[in-house]
Amino acid sequence: MTLEQRVEALEKAIGNIVTQQCTADGISEMVSNSASEATKNVCRLECQPKKHPVGWHISVVGEALVKGTD
């Protein structure tokens, strides 16, 4: 292998390492952003006033099972 071929192989290897690092950083950022958006959505939903309470009621021989809106 000539010196020129070795330099070319090293350049390719370094390029692959940089590409892998950029990909890992991109994935990390994407996951972080997704988690942040999910947290914001949950907070937004929890802070909204409940417009239509949802619940159910079952009566069996004088006994009742009621689920509230909590």
**3-57 pLDDT per residue, tens:** 899 999 999 998 888 888 888 888 888 888 888 888 888 888 888 776 655 566 5
- Give the CA distances from residue 50 to residues 24, 41, 44, 46, 63, in Å, rounded to whole numbers and listed in that order: 41, 15, 12, 9, 28
Q: What is the pLDDT of residue 44?
A: 82
Note down the domain range covering 18: 3-67
Q: What is the pLDDT of residue 53?
A: 58
Phi and psi based region of residue 66 (left: phi greater than 0; alpha: psi -120 to 50; beta: remaining): beta
CA 26 – CA 34 distance, rounded (Å): 12
What's the total number of domains in the chain? 1
Single-letter amino acid code for the residue at 4:
E
Q: What is the pTM of this model?
A: 0.45
Q: What is the pLDDT of residue 67?
A: 52
Name the token pair of 19.
Answer: 């590409």
Contact 58, 65 (CB under 8 A): yes
Identify the band that residue 2 occupies on the pLDDT scale cut at 50, 70 and 90: very high
